[in-house]
Chain A
Amino acid sequence: MSEHPLADEAFEPYEPRRPVPLPVYWMAIALALWGAVTLWNDSTAQSSGVGQRLAEAGDMTRRHSAAGADLFAQRCATCHQANGAGVAGAVPPLQGSRFLGANPQLVVQILLHGINGPIAVGGDRFDGHMPAFGSVLDDGQIARLVTHLRATWGNGGEVEAAFVKAQRQATRERHASWNGGADLVSLDPAVGPQPAFLSAPPAPSDSVAMALARGGKAGGWACSACHGAAGEGRSGVPRLAGLPADYIAQALLAFSTGTRPSDIMGPIARQLDGPERVGLGRLYATMASASRARPELDGDLARGATLALQGDDRRDVPSCFSCHGPSGFGVAPIVPAIAAQQPAYTAGRLAALGRHGKDDAGAAVMPSVAARLSDADRRAVADYLATLPPSPAIDTDTKDAR
């Protein structure tokens, strides 16, 4: 102690200089820039959204007919084509169609309930399967759409929302689609001679599948507990009604083997055997039920429509409909319907496919397409698809028999 006296009584403790490492600055600055760019993007998106709404609200009359034209472009043109020419052998034309010249009640009823059966339009016969728009368009939208249709291809004249409301009320007990032209000619004989509707032989009811769907297996979950009694799904839980039977059976198999990992579906699917998977597939494929899907992710619907209808060539994203069918109704046996799907499920599924879909054997090209979609694009397309009418569920087996 004494030989080592305190060298400096006046020592002032100080903090040695430890400069903040440069990489920390780099990251801080990069993050700040990122934040600034994100904020800027958001604010421009918001202001353009505000501008859009203002422009829409600007001129009531213009909005009225333009909204009908927009509805047509986004919900109808995929099948009937922008010029109303239809598709030879598959989709009836609107150009020169007697149905549009008939009583407006007829067009409203077709939109509300859809068509399921043979129909003659313009001298050609079509095996018509048109979706029901009653669950996805409100009275005002249907009124604007019908006004637009009649102005473009019919006899003109405005249809009011109140008229649609009365029509909806008059057929509120109806749950099935109109049985082709034979049913419609009874509403208005002006549509001309129509092919007879031969009712399909009733599909053999699969009591095993029905019991599984309603009651589950061995105390496990019933399908309907989450997917709904009519397979319509709910927020985050997919709609099953109208998906191709093979797609459902394959998805159940993929859940059970883990190639499509799911903590919820995995244990349930492992309880099922092959015939049960097939039975459930057929049960839901032939279930026609109204859409319960509504846009809920704040997606940009116009952007979603562009992606679904045209894709994005800048990002090498093909349009959804180039594979999922012209209106997102799916293409049997394995391409699923995406119309009227629950948006949270669609967006989540796209995100999962983009992240680790390469392991998902059944998903074909979706992983590489999904990986090129941004979060905003996933929400946009999911919300747009939720505005579409559900696929007209038909029993392909009995259809062939007919």
Chain B
Amino acid sequence: MTDPGHTATETESPRDQRKGRGLPHSIYALGGGLLLFALVMLVRDDILLRSGPPTPAAQDNGAIAFTPPPMSSIPNGPAGASIRHGMAIFENTGTEARAFVGNGLACRSCHLDAGRKADSAPMWAAWVSYPQYRAKNKKMNSMEDRLNGCFSYSMNGQDSPSGGPPPKGDPIYTDLEAYFHWLASNAPTGAKLKGAGFPKLKLSSLGYDRDRGRAVYAQHCASCHGDDGQGRRDLNGRQVFPPLWGANSYNWGAGMAQINNAAGFIKANMPLGAGNSLTDQQAWDAAAWIDSQERPKDPRQKGSVQDNAAAFHEGEKTFYGKTIDNHLLGTGTSPKPRL
């Protein structure tokens, strides 16, 4: 009738089971708890703090990640003074290199965050890749040669008070290089660094189109850069949003006048604070709209625009030398009186 074994299991099993399972149970509980905590932290960091798709640079293979040193670690003494002045030139180019700037831009207009931001041609990545052979001028270029090009084209030196870039050996170059050298502290020389240059975007079968670009520009760019592309100034007349075309912008010889470069910059960095929010196609089209507007002439031009297009713009993705609305692009703008 009564099975002693049976009753024993009935009454004693809960206790026994609890005893037997105590350890694994608490391991599961603790492990699960840790896992949940880690998961929540990851989600918080990855999704909330880093919304948006990963930057194209993050997918590069074999490229080394690099973070420049914090501003607070600029050393004191004469070296530090040179680095600080280099940074001042970079941020306040129109004042610190006043004689050689012929437009309303500064270095930092395109090299964002004082040349620190990845995917906006950061200077720590540029520093470790010079001297370099450049097809643009068909020679080995020192960093000074490269900076001379920046002043000639992006800063439109031809319309500056001195009529050109700083002369060879000018301390402006030395101080800028001191700043770049410091930014690249501990970076491996010659290595491929993540976020160097501007991202390279693939062109789809749609190509790029300035009329589509006009719409993208109106929706995503015009509120800061203005419908007329002239950027905006604050109440003291200081340029806050840089001019994208016209007499106060980069000239036809600048890298940014090539649509592929502008598209890469726009994709990764614009609108400011919402980089990578436009599609590749939108970036291509906006770049086409911006780079199909008139700007200061190419300072290398000797003969006609067509001759210059053949000599210096062959194979570029550019509107230079093309006729839009009965206007030959590349003709140039007349220099604006500087404020």
Report which A residues bind B (CB closer than 8 A).
Answer: 16-17, 19, 22-23, 25-30, 32-34, 79, 81-83, 85-91, 93, 126-129, 310-311, 313, 315-318, 322-323, 325-326, 329-332, 334-335, 364-366, 368-369, 371-372, 391-392, 394, 396
Contacts of B139 in A (CB 8 A): none
Bound-complex Cα distance A19 to B239 (A): 68
B217 to chain A, nearest CB (A): 14
Contacts of A34 in B (CB 8 A): 37, 40
Interchain residue pairs with CB less than 8 A apart (28): A17-B17, A22-B29, A25-B32, A29-B30, A30-B34, A30-B36, A33-B33, A33-B34, A33-B37, A34-B37, A34-B40, A88-B94, A90-B234, A90-B237, A90-B339, A126-B236, A127-B237, A315-B49, A325-B234, A325-B238, A326-B234, A368-B51, A368-B273, A369-B274, A371-B48, A372-B48, A391-B235, A394-B235
Contact (Cβ within 8 A) A365 B273: yes
Bound-complex Cα distance A119 to B48 (A): 48
Contacts of A394 in B (CB 8 A): 235
Q: A129-B236, A313-B116 are known contacts. Are A26 and B98 too (CB-CB below 8 A)?
A: no
Partner of A85, one of B17, B92, B240: B92
Residues B17-46 near A (CB distance < 8 A): 17-18, 25, 28-30, 32-37, 40
Contact (Cβ within 8 A) A372 B37: no
Contacts of B232 in A (CB 8 A): 331-332, 335
Contact (Cβ within 8 A) A26 B36: yes
Q: B96 — nearest CB in chain A belongs to which residue? A: A85
Partner of A22, one of B32, B51, B224: B32
Q: A79-B236, A88-B94, A89-B94 are known contacts. Are A26 and B50 too (CB-CB below 8 A)?
A: no
Question: Does B272 belong to the interface (CB within 8 Å)?
Answer: yes
Bound-complex Cα distance A22 to B275 (A): 42
Contact (Cβ within 8 A) A364 B223: yes
Contact (Cβ within 8 A) A26 B35: yes
Contact (Cβ within 8 A) A365 B37: no
Encode B270-314 as 1/0 by CB contact (under 8 A) with A: 011111010000000000000000000000000000000000000
Question: Does B113 belong to the interface (CB within 8 Å)?
Answer: yes
Contact (Cβ within 8 A) A22 B274: no
Report which B residues bind A (CB closer than 8 A).
Answer: 14, 17-18, 25, 28-30, 32-37, 40, 48-52, 71, 84-85, 88, 92, 94-96, 98, 112-113, 116-117, 223-224, 232-241, 271-275, 277, 338-339
Contact (Cβ within 8 A) A329 B235: yes
Q: A81-B88, A392-B235 are known contacts. Are A317 and B273 too (CB-CB below 8 A)?
A: yes
Q: A318 — nearest CB in chain B belongs to which residue? A: B273
Q: A28 — nearest CB in chain B belongs to which residue? A: B33
Q: B32 — nearest CB in chain A belongs to which residue? A: A26
Contact (Cβ within 8 A) A323 B224: yes
B274 to chain A, nearest CB (A): 4
Partner of A89, one of B85, B271, B339: B339
Contact (Cβ within 8 A) B94 A87: yes
Bound-complex Cα distance A243 to B223 (A): 17
Contacts of B71 in A (CB 8 A): 310
Partner of B51, one of A330, A334, A371: A371
Bound-complex Cα distance A129 to B224 (A): 22
Contacts of A365 in B (CB 8 A): 271-274
For the complex of A and B, the 8 pairs showing the least CB-CB separation, nearest first, are A29-B33, A25-B29, A90-B238, A89-B339, A26-B32, A30-B36, A30-B37, A17-B14
Q: A129-B235, A315-B49, A391-B235 are known contacts. Are A87 and B32 too (CB-CB below 8 A)?
A: no
A150 to chain B, nearest CB (A): 21
Q: A18 — nearest CB in chain B belongs to which residue? A: B14
Bound-complex Cα distance A366 to B71 (A): 26
Bound-complex Cα distance A340 to B14 (A): 67
Q: Taking A83-B88, A372-B49 as given, write out 20 further A-B residue pairs in contact, using a Cβ cutoff of 8 Å, ordered by the A residue number.
A: A17-B17, A29-B29, A30-B34, A30-B36, A30-B37, A33-B33, A33-B34, A34-B37, A81-B88, A83-B85, A87-B236, A87-B238, A91-B236, A313-B113, A323-B273, A325-B235, A326-B240, A331-B232, A364-B224, A365-B272
Contacts of A28 in B (CB 8 A): 33
Bound-complex Cα distance A341 to B42 (A): 34
Best-surrounded residue of B36, B40, B51, B88 (most CB of chain A within 10 A): B36
Contact (Cβ within 8 A) A329 B35: no
Bound-complex Cα distance A83 to B84 (A): 9
Contacts of A335 in B (CB 8 A): 224, 232
Q: B15 — nearest CB in chain A belongs to which residue? A: A17
Contacts of B30 in A (CB 8 A): 25, 29
Q: A371 — nearest CB in chain B belongs to which residue? A: B51
Q: A399 — nearest CB in chain B belongs to which residue? A: B235
Contacts of A26 in B (CB 8 A): 29, 32-33, 35-36
Q: A362 — nearest CB in chain B belongs to which residue? A: B223
B257 to chain A, nearest CB (A): 23
Contacts of B17 in A (CB 8 A): 17
B199 to chain A, nearest CB (A): 15
Contact (Cβ within 8 A) B37 A29: yes
Contact (Cβ within 8 A) A369 B273: yes
Q: B55 — nearest CB in chain A belongs to which residue? A: A316
Bound-complex Cα distance A85 to B106 (A): 15
Q: A354 — nearest CB in chain B belongs to which residue? A: B48
Contact (Cβ within 8 A) A127 B272: no
A11 to chain B, nearest CB (A): 11
A360 to chain B, nearest CB (A): 13
Bound-complex Cα distance A316 to B119 (A): 12
Bound-complex Cα distance A323 to B273 (A): 10
Contacts of B113 in A (CB 8 A): 310-311, 313, 318
B184 to chain A, nearest CB (A): 16
Contacts of A315 in B (CB 8 A): 49-50
Contacts of B94 in A (CB 8 A): 87-89
Partner of B18, one of A17, A86, A93, A366: A17
Contact (Cβ within 8 A) A331 B95: no
Best-surrounded residue of B18, B71, B98, B224 (most CB of chain A within 10 A): B224
Contact (Cβ within 8 A) A316 B50: yes
Bound-complex Cα distance A282 to B19 (A): 78
